Amino acid sequence: MRLGVLTSGGDAPGMNAAIRAAVRCESARNLEMVGIHRGFNGVIEGEFRALDNRAVGGIIERGGTILRSARSAAFLTPAGREKALRQIKDHELDGIIVIGGNGSLRGARWLEEQGVPTVGMPASIDNDIPRTAMSIGVDTALNTVVDALNRLRDTAVAHERAFVIEVMGRKSGYIALMGGLAGGAEVILLPETSMTLDAVVAQVCKGVLKGKRHSIIVVAEGFVPSDMESADPSAGRVLTDALERDGTVETRLTILGHLQRGGSPTAFDRVLACRFAQAAISWLADGEHGVYTGLQNEDVIPVPFEGVEDTCTNVDLDLLHLANIVAH
Ligand code: F6P
């Protein structure tokens, strides 16, 4: 049996650990592994290279992905898709493992529907993939956010300032919520919640007037105040400007951006990557496909690809309530 593996979409820390584990679990079952470079673009262009146990040595601790990644526009076109199927046939692949986020798992689903046995592994710092409590990369990104909040609190306290910290998450507030809760943020703003700009300013000022001399405000990039159509140029900038206009507290903005996607994966992400890879390989080898790996109640379970179409942010609004209680 000859299986291909690719990483696609936004990279997530732990993708390398997943590739390594997939190759080695496969080799333990005497299967052959082929690395596909640059995501679905590489399928279309036939960028297939054999992978063995030695080729994946020394990567468990590395962020990014040795296979490279891409958001493939070509794979969304009929011509690109037709070429991709031809390449898979010409290279005699018996199955494909797709490591990536929502869009990537949709691509995986399409391959499965065309008769290519496919299994997905959720990897996205947004944690917005349905029916899995965690995706590869989330824990590392959260720890990066918490580390940044610790550092920014030092300077916020020293200068008695408010800091607005914009984190990733266009549609999902998971990083903002969990990072904000773990980092002790005074205010957390998510795409899933709605608040006017004035209400946000009032909430920050309330803390200041109660004697809080500094504030940490964590905002997801996808937050839009309910009285605005969009937050231009960014959610963080809009809030910072509003707080500066109000004048109650001096305010600075930090946009964490792609810092959150890099770095060495945490132990949690490495273990999750190994467990997802082991499940993916054994399912494919045993003829089970059309599914992705999901973490539910500590178990790795197969989730049918159809589920990936559901909207999910894994955001528990009770935790937002808790964050508001413990921050004051
Ligand atoms: O999907 C992961 C993610 O990091 C989002 O949180 C973010 O909005 C997006 O990718 C950024 O994508 P890009 O790297 O293509 O700018």
Q: What is the pLDDT of residues 204-242, one digit of tens each?
A: 998 888 888 899 999 999 999 999 999 999 999 999 999
Write the Ramachandran bin of 80: left for phi over 0, alpha for psi from -120 to 50, otherwise beta: alpha
Q: Give the count of beta carbons closer than 10 Å to the beta carbon of residue 54.
A: 8
Q: Residue 318 catalytic? A: no
Q: Which helix (H) or strand (E) holds 321?
A: helix 317-326
Q: What is the pLDDT of residue 210?
A: 85
| Ligand 1 atom 3 nearest Cα | 10
Q: Which two tokens stand for residue 224?
A: 């839009």
Q: What is the pLDDT of residues 125-152, one digit of tens each?
A: 999 999 999 999 999 999 999 999 999 9
CA 266 to chain centre: 14
> Diameter of the chain by CA atoms?
69
Alpha carbon of 63 to ligand 1 centroid (Å): 15
CB 127 within 8 A of CB 137: no
Q: Which of 126, 128, 139, 269 is catalytic?
A: 126
Q: Give the count of beta carbons closer than 10 Å to the beta carbon of residue 266.
A: 19
Give the residues across from 165 on adjacent strands. 218, 254
Q: Is the CB of 236 under 6 A from ligand 1?
A: no
d(CA 119, CA 99): 9
Whose CA is closest to 235, among 224, 227, 244? 224
Query: How many helices (H) does the chain have, and how many strands (E)?
Result: 10, 11
Q: What is the pLDDT of residue 309?
A: 86
- Report long-range pairs for 288-292 (Cβ below 8 Å, ≥24 apart): 288/119, 289/95, 289/112, 289/117, 289/118, 289/119, 290/109, 290/112, 290/117, 290/118, 290/119, 291/119, 291/120, 292/105, 292/108, 292/119, 292/120, 292/121, 292/122, 292/129, 292/132
d(CA 41, CA 78): 13
Place of tokens 């994966």: 265
Best of 71, 125, 138, 308 for a ligand 1 pocket test (most atoms within 8 Å of beta carbon) = 125
Alpha carbon of 220 to those of 129, 201, 237: distances in Å?
17, 16, 12
Residue ranges in the chain whose pLDDT is less than 70: none
d(CA 195, CA 188): 11
Q: Is the CB of 101 under 6 A from ligand 1?
A: yes
CA angle 33, 307, 144 (to 5 degrees): 70
How many residues appear in the chain?
328
Q: What is the pLDDT of residue 312?
A: 87
Best of 261, 308, 313, 315 for a ligand 1 pocket test (most atoms within 8 Å of beta carbon) = 261
Alpha carbon of 34 to ligand 1 centroid (Å): 27
